[in-house]
């Protein structure tokens, strides 16, 4: 018994103490979101500055980027976790680490955007239009690119935003495994 223990309020004699009620679980911190941004951007200072604002003060972030949310039909009254997830995507799009492509994208546009992502350049990933059939769609192109990039232990990954568009970025297979675990902590998906 420590010195200050004797000053704690003791229950009245003959009365048992009630069992303590466990505190409600705290909502997940913004750390998984910040970690996802750090992995995809390799710690880009601009990305890290903005993702911290998004994770720590989503109200300010949405207010200062209202036009981006309005284009997606989102408002400040929407689910805060969704607003943060979309904030992550918008920050990474702006910094050219990810691109968002429609499911019925044209092959030349698709190739242009994937080739110009910072991660594609950093990882020195080849991208040959002969790998891809223009009559197919984005999901097929992702599979074909991944079959080629697997020799380099890399892939084209997708951030799921519950839409018919694809948020795409290149990464190593090891990074994708880490990102998938972090996304699960937020009850989100990265494929």
Distance (Å, whole) CA 27 – CA 24: 9
pLDDT of residue 76: 85
For residue range 44-78, what is the model confidence (pLDDT) as tens digits? Answer: 999 999 999 999 999 999 999 999 999 999 988 88
pLDDT of residue 29: 55
Distance (Å, whole) CA 112 – CA 91: 20
pLDDT at 18 over 90: no
pLDDT at 3 over 50: no
For residue range 77-104, what is the model confidence (pLDDT) as tens digits? Answer: 889 999 999 999 999 999 999 999 999 9
Q: How far is CA 151 from CA 11, 156, 173, in A?
A: 68, 13, 11
pLDDT of residue 77: 86
Q: Is 35 helix (H, G, I), strand (E, B) or coil?
A: helix
In terms of DSSP H, where are the helices of the chain?
A: 31-41, 45-56, 58-64, 66-71, 80-94, 107-115, 118-122, 138-149, 173-185
pTM: 0.82
The sheet with strand 99-102 has its strands ordered as: 99-102, 165-172, 154-159
pLDDT at 27 over 70: no
DSSP type of residue 104: T
What value does the mean pLDDT of the chain take? Answer: 87
Token readout for 44 is 């880009």
């Amino acid at each position: 018994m420590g010195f200050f223990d004797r000053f704690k309020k003791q229950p009245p004699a003959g009365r048992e103490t009630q069992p303590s009620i466990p505190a409600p679980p705290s909502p997940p911190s913004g750390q998984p979101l910040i970690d996802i941004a750090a992995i995809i951007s390799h710690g880009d200072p601009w990305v890290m500055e903005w993702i911290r604002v998004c994770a720590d003060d989503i109200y300010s972030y949405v207010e200062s980027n209202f036009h981006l949310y309005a284009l997606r039909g989102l408002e400040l009254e929407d689910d805060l976790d969704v607003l943060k997830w979309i904030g992550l995507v918008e920050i990474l799009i702006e910094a050219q680490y990810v691109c968002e492509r429609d499911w019925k994208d044209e092959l030349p546009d698709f190739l242009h955007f994937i080739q110009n992502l910072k991660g594609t350049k950093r990882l020195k990933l080849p991208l040959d239009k002969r790998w891809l059939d223009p009559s197919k769609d984005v999901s097929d192109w992702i599979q074909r690119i991944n079959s080629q990039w697997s020799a380099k232990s890399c892939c084209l990954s997708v951030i799921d935003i519950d839409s018919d568009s694809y948020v795409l970025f290149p990464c190593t297979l090891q990074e994708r495994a880490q990102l998938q675990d972090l996304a699960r902590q937020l009850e989100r998906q990265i494929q």
